[in-house]
Structure 1
Amino acid sequence: MPAPRSRPSCTRWRSATSSRASPAWSAAPTSPSPRPDPVPPCRRPVALWALLVLLSVLLAAAFEWMRLAAALLLGPMLAGIVVAAGLAPVAVPRPLFWLAQGVIGAMMGRVITLPILSAMLRDWPLFLLSIGAVIAAGMALGWLLARWRVLPGSSAVWGFFPGAALAMALMAEAFGEDIRLVAFMQYLRVALVTLAASAVAQLWGEGTAATTATDWLGPVDGAALAGTLAVIVAGVGLGWRLRSPSAPLLVPMVAAAALGDAGVLTITLPPWLLAGSYAVVGWGIGLRFTRTTVRHVLRALPRITVAIVVLIGICGGMAALLAAVSELDPLTAYLAMCPGGADAVAIIAASSHVDMPFVVAMQTGRFLVLVFTGPLLARLVARHALPAGRGAG
């Protein structure tokens, strides 16, 4: 009689998804050494993925109803946290995660247009000073959080970079940081900044317009979609060959911006493709959480929230100064200096009586500066924040 098969263990999945961040968390002297998470018994993968998809749809729909920024990413990310920390860990295949990054990169490249770049070049001293001031404020607060050991290493710095939240989280992981912590900080900042910007727009402007329903099955130019997908796949493949950690995101972004501005290709990304890519990236982040990570995140939440509110206040003061020394109205200056997220700020600006091109140019310019200088700045700040003899995390 053959011996009964042993039940498969989840230990290898737990170690693969949680090993990167555990040393950094346990290095914090203010927190006790975390006890290892109990390894739950494996469930059927099909049932786990079905539950993950269902929970993602429900949470994303709830966030959309609440008009929360990035709802289609936050829903799957929170669902991934619930499944990984509460039931059993599963993993998103790495090639699929790279392709989803490529779609996000193409979406970012689509908004980098020649009019925005020309506006930045025309008023480059103003843009340079304003962008530098907001980045410096975020770096200073990230330095304090790293210095006080609220978060490990340069994760605090990446978390306070006021650029595109998803891009900063993906690039942080590419350069060795914990994507879970960075994504948590970035999207908490996006939520608070969006609330503050909406309130200011209601007070000073006409408020925000009602959101329009998404046409999920609308007509799509098949040739343009095929060309866009080819650019994404080729860009991700080239990035993999270049062995550059952030290439799966940046190569499609640069290619989409160049081809779109040259009129060679109309970058076409239907809503269902974007939603699927958001879900894959959200799962890729959320499924890496463990119960230990969730406990530490909740413990650090009050101090991180205070730091974000301080950043919003500093940027509000800079906006008042910008409005005083330029011909901009106060609302335009405030939206331009908002520390992210660029997409939510752009939606608010589009529904208010402001200088829309200036706001979009300022937000895009800050994102581009951080894309190319973020890794260097994060390492520099973390090196000076940590005591001698300690690593950057």
Structure 2
Amino acid sequence: MTHETLHQPSGWIEGSTPAFQWTALIGLSVGFGGFLSLLGVPAALLIGPLLAGIVISGSGGKLRLTPHAFVPVQGLIGCMIARMLPSSIAGEFGIHWPVFAAGVLSVIVASGVLGWLLVRMRVLPGTTALWGVSPGAATVMTLMAEAYGADAQLVAVMQYLRVLMVAAVASVVAKVSGAGLHHVAAAITWFPALAWLPLIKTLALAVLGSLLGRRLRIPMGSMLVTLVAGVVLVRHGWLTIELPRWLLAIAYAFVGWRIGLRFTRPLLAHAARALPRILACSLALIAACGGIGVALVAVAGVDPLTAYLATSPGGADSVAIIAASSNVDVHFVMAMQMARFVAVQAIGPVAARFLARRATANANAARPNDS
């Protein structure tokens, strides 16, 4: 019944061949990305493919990116972050550790408190809101939410929609703060002269590092192992990371497609009735993190967009792409994001499980009084 309703022909994409769907996806990605670039939107090459993925998947397309296909892309993103990070990243932590510690803990506490309040207010069924606003890895939080009886589909929508919203808000903050694209004035060289040996070494690092990270089975290991190895190799002068613009554009597109293609029609239909509440939850978390960013501006003297990206609850890979496309202190942003990523992986699931148990216990205790 509902299954058949959801799969009524929708016109131009449903029932078409995979070749046509891939052609449409690439064409829409180029179109959206080019238009957003003309508007000066940060990370247009990420957001364009993301929107294209939503259009194709929401129109009944069946394209999916397998985890194996995305592994080397995570390696490329790790190489990009390694190139952006200073060789003195340890010194960066050493000098600013009170700021990083306060910022990281504030984001984790803010998301926990907000999730707890949303559960108590019964904004969404059960503990769904708690998992949806958690700043941990989206896949991990979705699986844990399902194990605790939450609506895993709504959690997935909240997690991936928040990534899109973070990027959109970043564009607004960039315009307001005057920290738009750093390459707008200059013509973009898509196919520069290449240093072939550094490029081959970079590709080898991206592939081997990502495969090792996947084999170690740690969250986002493909990106993290490559990132750490890249920082070490660059610091000792053993590697010069070479990433031409066209290669980064492909990597950005894969990251955007990975997010956008998850917004399938059944998932969107399932979330439609709760969409206002989902948006409210996501905006509340973004606003809470924005408040922490305002404190960073006052205390650490960083610019507003740097502070926003450093504390934003988007994915580390998408935040890295936005930071690379904007006039921000990339070192500060990525140092804060990496510190929070490690902290969230260490204590985030434990804290979320604790809050979920407490919320479930309270709900069970209050159930006899419910109508």
Provide the TM-score with structure 1 as the length reference: 0.71
Alignment correspondent of 1:369: 339
Alignment correspondent of 1:11: none
1:87-102 equivalence runs, <5 A: 87-102=60-75
Measured in 2, the distance between the counterparts of 1:123 and 1:323 equals 14
1:280-319 equivalence runs, <5 A: 280-307=254-281, 309-311=283-285, 313-315=287-289, 317-318=291-292
Calculate percent identity across the aligned residue pairs.
31
1:77-107 alpha-carbon deviations (Å, 9 max, x no partner): 2222222221331222432211112211221
1:341-352 equivalence runs, <5 A: 341=319, 344=322, 349-350=327-328
Alignment correspondent of 1:253: 227
1:140-189 alpha-carbon deviations (Å, 9 max, x no partner): 3344445635488678656553x9xxxx5577679887665422112202
Distance 1:218 1:188, change over 3 A: same
Structure 1 runs not aligned, ≥5 long:
1-33, 351-355
Measured in 1, the distance between the counterparts of 2:183 and 2:129 equals 36
Of residues 227, 237, 241, the one that matches 2:201 is: 227
Of residues 175, 185, 189, the one that matches 2:162 is: 185
SS of 2:190's partner is coil
Task: Work out the number of aligned pairs and report it.
Answer: 337
Aligned residue identity for 1:336: A
Alignment correspondent of 1:218: 192
Measured in 2, the distance between the counterparts of 1:320 and 1:48 equals 43
Measured in 2, the distance between the counterparts of 1:297 and 1:319 equals 30
CA contact (8 A) 1:142 1:160 kept: yes
1:179-219 alpha-carbon deviations (Å, 9 max, x no partner): 654221122023224413542x25xxx88766243211011
In the TM superposition, residue 229 of structure 1 has moved relative to its aligned partner by: 0.6
CA contact (8 A) 2:133 2:285 kept: no
SS of 2:85's partner is coil
Measured in 1, the distance between the counterparts of 2:221 and 2:174 equals 32
Of residues 38, 53, 59, the one that matches 2:7 is: 38
In the TM superposition, residue 220 of structure 1 has moved relative to its aligned partner by: 1.7
SS of 2:88's partner is helix
Distance 1:101 1:39, change over 3 A: farther
1:333-344 equivalence runs, <5 A: 335-336=306-307, 339-340=311-312, 341=319, 344=322
CA contact (8 A) 2:77 2:251 kept: yes
Alignment correspondent of 1:105: 78
CA contact (8 A) 1:131 1:362 kept: no
SS of 2:360's partner is coil
Aligned residue identity for 1:365: A
Distance 1:78 1:154, change over 3 A: same
Matched, 1:242 2:216: yes
Distance 1:182 1:221, change over 3 A: same
SS of 1:68's partner is coil
SS of 2:191's partner is coil
What root-mean-square deviation, in Å, do the aligned CA atoms of Structure 1 and Structure 2 show?
3.6
In the TM superposition, residue 365 of structure 1 has moved relative to its aligned partner by: 2.8
SS of 2:93's partner is helix
